[in-house]
Amino acid sequence: MYIDRPIAIALIIFTIILLVFFLVWPEYKTLGELQTSLGRKIAEYNAQTGYYGEIEKTYLELQSRKDDIEKINEALPAAELDPTFGKLIYYLQGVADDNGLVAKNIFLSETNSTVAGAASIKNISFSMDLLGEYSSLEGFLIALEKSARIFEVESVSFGASSGTLLNNYNVKIVTHSY
């Protein structure tokens, strides 16, 4: 059997077109979709890599400023960590003792909160009755001023003690916590 050459060529071309249409074209579409999906995944990966790089950079910066952050945390400690204010009272007694004053009474006068941004700052007011000399009181006030914690002396009242050379002082101090 002899097939005409032009007919054979037409049949081969038609067969090739059918094979391309039914076998190659769907795989080509799938390849395009996979390439698009791969591009999205690469973009997500690059975005996450950049994000985690920024977090690492910020973490390293915070680690380099660790001493400064500790000073800030010491200056404004969280009230939830020390609800009894024991460390603060102990600190005030220690400063008074170091400067030659006797802390007779320490009263928690009041606490109130102010909202500043996202955190609320609690103002804690103490009233202290001290006994000692004027130079000791001056040293006490200077020690409070130089401490890492923020103290504000609102008022100082003087009174003479009967029978001794020591004076009575009433000092009202305000500090802050968050």
Q: Give the closest residue to 52 by CA, choosing from 41, 60, 40.
A: 60
pLDDT in tens, 60-94: 998 998 888 887 776 665 554 455 577 788 888 89
Q: Give the closest residue to 102 by CA, choosing from 136, 126, 125, 135.
A: 136
pLDDT in tens, 113-143: 665 555 677 788 888 888 888 888 899 999 9
Residue 81's pLDDT is what? 47
Q: How far is CA 78 from the centre of its chain?
A: 12
Residue 119's pLDDT is what? 62
The domain segmentation of the chain, as residue ranges, is 1-64, 73-177
Across 148-153, average pLDDT: 82
- Alpha carbon of 148 to those of 24, 68, 74, 139, 174: distances in Å? 75, 11, 7, 16, 14
Characterise 11 by phi-psi region: left (phi > 0), alpha (psi -120 to 50), beta (else).
alpha
* pTM reported for the whole predicted model: 0.53
The architecture in CATH of the region 73-177 reads: 2-Layer Sandwich (3.30)
